[in-house]
Structure 1
Amino acid sequence: MTEYSSLFVLGCINSSLCHCRWKASDSLSPGVNIMVLGQAVNMSLMDISKIFSLLQPKEEDEDNEQSQALNNAVSSDNVTLLSELLSQESYRRSINARSGWGVPVTPLRTAAALGHLRCLELLLEHGAEIDSLDVKAQTPLFTAVSGKHLDCVVALLKAGADPNGSQYNNCSPVLTAAREGDVDVLRELLRFGAELDVRSKVPEWASSSTACRGPLYISAVYGHLDGFKLLLLHGANPNYNCTDEKMLARIKQPKTVLEVCLRYGCGVEYIQLLIDFGADVYLPTLIIDKTTKQNEALDLLLKERDLGKP
């Protein structure tokens, strides 16, 4: 027991005894005094035993403390300290416990978020759960992708991390990499089998024309030509970038990738790539309005349509 805990208990004992003396002096006869005093002392001993019980660290508290110690070692990228901690069975038992303010996280998640590769590899060697979720349903891989930590992304994928992240998260590693234009990370995700035409997860009632927009759409909108090309090379659907037929059926006018490229003023290179990879230039009826950029890209599409006419 710590010195502070001992002082706390002694204070409670003194308080109880003072209370007993007050009860005894307030009584009417020696017999009652003894009886009341006895009862008061017995009650105080019960209270003290409860206090001792409360002061004993619970197993969860121990896990939290040890997880916090692991997290601290990872945060400071102190591989030596982390190795020393993991050499002890009690710390290894807490390797998947969550700690910290705000969003409690595992040590592996901390290593992935900060890009501390050596700590991450050490945790994996000691059996850290590779696809553990935080309260946002984010996996360590997702946080490594978000932080653009390529070496950690590769290490996690090689160790068996799900390249698609969690089914409970609205986003995915591929969508994140496409948005950020991180071609190297995107390439590794695709190399390990990530879904190409993945879309943000939304409930059926919230389905709209944006609900089926996958990484190809996002690469175009954010102007990431290299990522756009990489996705097509790996087989992304050049029309809707979505393979969910039920989703497409629920949407009145789903937008093709061609339409999105024109709407957001993407360069002619995007249109040419879509044509080269087999996009249907007649699908659907193209509506040219004030929001459609009148540029070389549109001219190329219209010319391609003319060439295809019988």
Structure 2
Amino acid sequence: SIRLNQLKCVFVCLGHLRCLQLLLAHGAEVDSVDVKAQTPLFSAVCGRYLGCVLALLRAGADPNGNLRNAGSPVLTAAREGDAEILRHLLRHGAEVNARSKVTLWTSGVAVCSGPLYLAAVYGHLDCFRILLLYGADPNYNWPDDKSSTRAMPARKTVLEMCLRHGCSVDFIRLLIEFGANVYLPTLIIEKSTKQNEALELLLKERGCPRSLVSQCRLSIRRHLKQVNRIQDLDSLDVPPRLLNYLKHKPMNCSISQ
């Protein structure tokens, strides 16, 4: 049979889509793994070969990669800022709240790295918004799980990590819009323009309850996530205005995105 090394040389070296399609057509194992448990899809995402990613997904590749691999296609796409690849992975059912198996230490704080966190600290606002649109938990890392120990400081939510890293206020605004709990982070005042702007927004939100329109949208989206339909928003039989509403877009704008 055609094994992983033949698949990988196609896109890791040069990303030849036609060669990949030929290999798949002749029975190549789509989810075979190497010694690092990296699947062909994971390698294609690392190489940012969109055509190869699409071919593998259409051939039935697991969008989550292999469980024995320390990373995942979604984590990689979020870190690299490849919004188009990330969107296709999520459309094919990839886990939007994937967790890295590597615990990161930043500013003395233990963080269980996830896609939202990576998109934020690397400054990829488009990827950050796509993850939230596909159901990423805006309170990722909360509450702490039982694996935490006294020797390891408590993990922080994405909102708190955005504040600590001085992410632009746009990241904070998106988290609030998609339902982040504004009371979770411990506020730390720093001499940073971005930090001050973000803190000002957060304090304002703490003093103003969510509108009924916002609460209804969050409830509907939460239900769609529970029934595993959040990735199928575009295929829902609903009026365009309602679809725009659920996708956090202006009610009268185009829905082609």
The two structures have a TM-score, normalised by structure 1, of 0.60
- Larger mean CA deviation between 233-242 and 261-270 belongs to 233-242
The offset of 1:233, in angstroms, is 0.5
Instruction: Give me the whole-angstrom Cα distance separating, in 1, the residues matched to 2:168 and 2:128.
Output: 12
Which residue is equivalent to 1:264? Answer: 165
1:222 counterpart = 2:116: no
The offset of 1:202, in angstroms, is 4.2
1:235 counterpart = 2:138: no
Q: What do the CA deviations read for 1:27-85 (whole angstroms, capped 9, x no partner)?
A: xxxxxxxxxxxxxxxxxxxxxxxxxxxxxxxxxxxxxxxxxxxxxxxxxxxxxxxxxxx
Structure 2: gaps spanning 5 or more residues: 210-257
1:295 counterpart = 2:196: yes
CA 1:242/1:249 → structure 2, altered by over 3 Å: closer, same or farther? farther
The offset of 1:111, in angstroms, is 1.4
Match of 1:200 among 92, 100, 104: 100
Which residue is equivalent to 2:6? Answer: 107
Give, as a single letter, the amino acid of the residue that structure 2 aligns with 1:115. G
- Over the aligned positions, Cα root-mean-square deviation in angstroms equals 2.6
SS at match of 2:195: coil
SS at match of 2:181: coil
| Percent identity over paired residues | 65
- Larger mean CA deviation between 147-156 and 129-138 belongs to 129-138
Which residue is equivalent to 1:170? Answer: 70
Q: Relative to total residues, which structure has the larger helix share, 1 or 2? A: 1
Q: How does 1:99-178 map to 2 (within 5 A)?
A: 106-113=5-12, 114-178=14-78
Instruction: Give me the whole-angstrom Cα distance separating, in 2, the residues matched to 1:149 and 1:234.
Output: 22
SS at match of 1:160: coil
Match of 1:277 among 173, 178, 183: 178
The offset of 1:249, in angstroms, is 8.1
CA 1:247/1:173 → structure 2, altered by over 3 Å: closer, same or farther? farther
Q: What do the CA deviations read for 1:254-283 (whole angstroms, capped 9, x no partner)?
A: 111111111111111111111111100001
The two structures have a TM-score, normalised by structure 2, of 0.72
SS at match of 1:298: helix
CA contact (8 A) 1:215 1:241 kept: no
The offset of 1:155, in angstroms, is 0.4
SS at match of 2:35: coil
1:253 counterpart = 2:145: no
Structure 1: gaps spanning 5 or more residues: 1-92, 97-104
CA contact (8 A) 1:111 1:119 kept: yes
**Bigger Rg, which one:** 1
Instruction: Give me the whole-angstrom Cα distance separating, in 2, the residues matched to 1:292 and 1:169.
Output: 39
Count residues in correspondence: 204
